[in-house]
Amino acid sequence: MTFETILYEVSEGIATITINRPEVLNALNMQVLRDLLAATELVRKDPQSKVAILTGAGRSFVAGADISQMRGFTVTQGLEFGDLGHAVLRAFETLDKPVLAAVNGFALGGGTEISMGCDFIYASTKAKFGQPEVSLGIIPGFGGTQRLARIVGMNKARELIYTGDVISAEEAKRIGLVSELYEPEELLSKVRERARLLMSKGPLAISAAKRCMNKGVDISLDAALELEKQAFAALFGTEDQKEGMGAFVEKRLPSFLGR
């Protein structure tokens, strides 16, 4: 399948999705969001894709939304754009496979938001993060007011969103937004190493853990613990559990099949 605004490649179980509008620093417009949604569905349906990596072409991850398109939006169009952005992030979050963001440059506005929909954010030492929407007379519209606070805490999220400050990759890691930093030239190779590590683990187990964590954060502790208990028990009915525990006892590496 070919796309208008992204590149899509699957190699050795890793699906790499590259936002490909380098001439505008990969700014998000309606077509980019539609392409991302379609690509995520490809990953979901493809048994050969075990892990997804999201990155950007050129010197930017996503420098924000395409202001030239947004400036003329009506309220209805703004809602449509927001709906599509939310759909993309929920697609990342509900994908039963890990999604890793490889942030190679600017991740501003919608760029920071898109990265927060991924399971992990790995960044170049030259990356920049921020939610500068208030400088444009709007607020984050793809979940930034909600996800940022959940990741870095309410006080820091308020500061970043109210001021629109742009922060360095080092600061993003310090506040817990970014998992790890790499030099620009080694970012993708290092993220692929992390992807291969994840692929060596039980895919059904990772999927269950992701589902429990994402659903559990917004419900009561008792309900979340019940969710975990049921998912834990269900995995004992899988071939992967037998393989994983058998390999441990037999002192060999497991060979998981995702069943």
Long-range contacts of 64-71 (CB under 8 A, 24+ apart): 64/25, 64/27, 64/28, 64/106, 64/108, 64/109, 64/110, 64/111, 64/132, 65/27, 65/28, 65/29, 65/109, 65/110, 66/24, 66/27, 66/28, 66/29, 67/27, 67/136, 69/29, 69/30
Give, rounded to a whole angstrom, the gap between the first and last alpha carbons of the chain. Answer: 27
**Residues catalogued as catalytic:** 113, 133
Supply the pLDDT for residue 68: 87
Write down the pLDDT at residue 48.
Answer: 92
Burial class (CB in 10 A: 0-12, 13-18, 19+), 33: buried
The CATH number of the domain covering residues in 203-249: 1.10.12.10
Report domain extents, the chain: 6-199, 203-249
- Give the pLDDT of residue 2: 84
Tell me which H or E stretch contains 86: helix 75-94
| pLDDT values of the chain reduced to their tens digit, one per residue, 259 residues | 789 999 999 999 999 999 999 999 999 999 999 999 999 999 999 999 999 999 999 999 999 988 988 899 999 999 999 999 999 999 999 999 999 999 999 999 999 999 999 999 999 999 999 999 999 999 999 999 999 999 999 999 999 999 999 999 999 999 999 999 999 999 999 999 999 999 999 999 999 999 999 999 889 999 999 999 999 999 999 999 999 999 999 999 999 999 9
pTM (predicted TM-score): 0.93
pLDDT for res 225: 96
Residue type for 19, please? I
> Which listed CATH number (3.90.25.10, 3.40.50.1010, 3.90.226.10, 3.40.1160.10) goes with 6-199?
3.90.226.10
116 is written with which tokens?
């927060």
